[in-house]
Amino acid sequence: MKGSSVISKTITFSVRNKTDLGNKLLAVGVYGNMYKVIRCLYSKLQSAVRLSPTMFTEWFSVDSGVRQGDNLAPTLFALFIDELVPLINGLCCGALIGDDMISCLLYADDLVLISGTVDGLQNQLNALNDWTKTQLMNVNTEKTKIMHIRKTTKDRTQFTFRLGDNIVAFVNKYRYLGLTLSEHIDYNVSVSELVSAGSRSLGSLISKFFNMGNMDYDIFTKIYENTVIPVLDYASGVWGAKQYDNIERLHYRAIRTFLGVGKTTPIPAILADMGWHPVFIHNQCNVVRLWCRLMNMPGHRICRKVFVWDRDMSRRYRNTWFNSAKTLLDRCNLSHLTENDSAISTRFILDSVKSKLVADFKDKWFNEINNMPKLRTYKHLKTEFYAEPYVQKHLTRTQRSAIARIRCGTFPLEVERGRYRNIPIEQRVCKMCNSGSIEDEQHFILYCDRYSVLRNKLFTAISPDPAYPLHINELPPNAALNELLSNNNKSIANFILDCDRIRREII
């Protein structure tokens, strides 16, 4: 069998008796008062379950395992499990990574056995079973699974693995330390699990947003960056070199909720008004961050050895982590970094990568806003990528939504409604006045006669001197719109909402 089989299991650990734990402590050089204290801690172990802040069950004695929530517990557990590692390594059944053989990975009570052959893995399982018996430990068979990691073109092995008398079941994916790995190491599987978790976090943010009626931009952004992004970018140093649409879609959902716009609103417009970059830029920076860590890591660390091995493999195989990171660095004009092994400055590289990725994204963004029919008004309003004042100021949800929809071209004016009914542009005229003009954002805000009373009121309200009302509609149309929609956020939002009310009564 080519490729490696991975098995993960949780071991329940039992302190057999006082002498057993005592011997282990003495063997590692713990003696004197510290020895007495630890022995004493485990002499009459009792636990109770807290049902509510004031309600507890009866105390019951516990004769196996370590104390729950105790800072010392992982160390005591390590004393026992440490003996297992040389035992498994001694079998020499692991997978070869360069000149090194990796047979098992340990994290707290999580154990992964790795082997390149079925017989090798079965040998490791037998050794584990014998060892747990002598140590009076139990393996949690419910959580113990086999995963055959292989190419998509290969079939899964038919071998039946056993742990003692139990048959160990196969799985096609396994969640290890928070990241779901699939049998073909397809990161789309891992990412879709992270997106489901991120979606739950975003759901909780959105329900807070609606329960509170509204939220300020800074607060919304802060909560998003601290509760949703950390879920979405978990381990993205490993999988984040390419762009995943489902992650970006979740990002857009957060923005649409805050701006109060519908699903048909052009993405480039909402990203730029919010001033949020796409998530892939953040994730690709994480790939480079991991790259820098591995480059600066001492040679004896396993991660570093795997990195060097992967780099060697990259000469023969295209689909490696090294190659995906290299493509990214090449794109950022940092190819020379992949060619030598010298220590590098993480800060400098990350800054260069980020500014290049952001610059590329902005170029693409600029082309997109100039080529989308809905953004007929927007392209004249926005030339730089930053959070708009109307987004940052304290507006109600309805006010914010009114401005966002007018800017992004989704306000239900004739020019937009006609697009869906395939009406020629020259026939999408305003039904509110007799001017015969096309009802677009300019006509609606600056010229339509039906709203002149409201408009004069607005211009008076926003004039520095009320005696001399501004004649914004005498400016060139785009300059006038720019002036109105960039400043005066509250007044213009109320004007749009009032006009819309009149419009709805008639149409």
Applying CB under 5 A, the residues found at the interface with Zn ion are 430, 432-433, 448
Q: Please state, in angstroms and rounded to a whole number, the distance separating the CA atoms of residues 256 and 252.
A: 6
Minimum distance from residue 452 beta carbon to Zn ion (Å): 10
Tokens found for residue 506 = 């008639």
Instruction: Tell me 478's DSSP state.
Output: H
CA-nearest of 165, 138, 141, 174 to 13 is 138
Q: Which is nearer to Zn ion, 249 or 431 (CB)?
A: 431
Q: Which is nearer to Zn ion, 184 or 450 (CB)?
A: 450
Q: Which is nearer to Zn ion, 189 or 433 (CB)?
A: 433
Minimum distance from residue 324 beta carbon to Zn ion (Å): 54
Q: Which is nearer to Zn ion, 297 or 438 (CB)?
A: 438
Provide the H-helix boundaries in 212-301: 217-223, 229-232, 236-239, 245-259, 267-274, 279-295
Minimum distance from residue 436 beta carbon to Zn ion (Å): 9
Q: Please state, in angstroms and rounded to a whole number, the distance separating the CA atoms of residues 108 and 78.
A: 7
Q: Please state, in angstroms and rounded to a whole number, the distance separating the CA atoms of residues 252 and 271.
A: 8
CA-nearest of 377, 381, 371, 456 to 415 is 377
Minimum distance from residue 434 beta carbon to Zn ion (Å): 8
Q: Which is nearer to Zn ion, 206 or 433 (CB)?
A: 433
Tokens found for residue 369 = 């806003």
Residue 457 has a CB neighbour count (10 Å cut-off) of 16
Q: Which is nearer to Zn ion, 287 or 432 (CB)?
A: 432
Residue 128 has a CB neighbour count (10 Å cut-off) of 24
- Which residues are bridge partners to 87 per DSSP? none
CA-nearest of 286, 307, 312 to 295 is 307
The total number of residues shown for the chain amounts to 507
Q: Please state, in angstroms and rounded to a whole number, the distance separating the CA atoms of residues 52 and 12.
A: 27
Minimum distance from residue 451 beta carbon to Zn ion (Å): 8
Q: Which is nearer to Zn ion, 353 or 448 (CB)?
A: 448
CA angle, 166 as apex, 160 and 169 as ends, to 5°? 50
Q: Which is nearer to Zn ion, 21 or 432 (CB)?
A: 432
Q: Residue 178 contacts by C-beta under 8 Å, 6 or more apart in sequence? A: 234, 235
Minimum distance from residue 403 beta carbon to Zn ion (Å): 20
Q: Which is nearer to Zn ion, 126 or 435 (CB)?
A: 435
Minimum distance from residue 233 beta carbon to Zn ion (Å): 48
Q: Please state, in angstroms and rounded to a whole number, the distance separating the CA atoms of residues 89 and 224.
A: 44
Minimum distance from residue 459 beta carbon to Zn ion (Å): 17
Q: Which is nearer to Zn ion, 388 or 439 (CB)?
A: 439
Q: Please state, in angstroms and rounded to a whole number, the distance separating the CA atoms of residues 277 and 257.
A: 17
Q: Which is nearer to Zn ion, 424 or 436 (CB)?
A: 436
- Which residues are bridge partners to 117 per DSSP? none
Minimum distance from residue 431 beta carbon to Zn ion (Å): 8
Minimum distance from residue 438 beta carbon to Zn ion (Å): 9
CA-nearest of 217, 335, 324 to 280 is 324
For 60, phi then psi, to 5°, come to -130, 150
CA-nearest of 175, 232, 176, 174 to 202 is 232
Q: Which is nearer to Zn ion, 109 or 414 (CB)?
A: 414
Minimum distance from residue 432 beta carbon to Zn ion (Å): 4
- Which residues are bridge partners to 139 per DSSP? 11
Minimum distance from residue 264 beta carbon to Zn ion (Å): 24
Only one residue has tokens 């049998």, namely 183
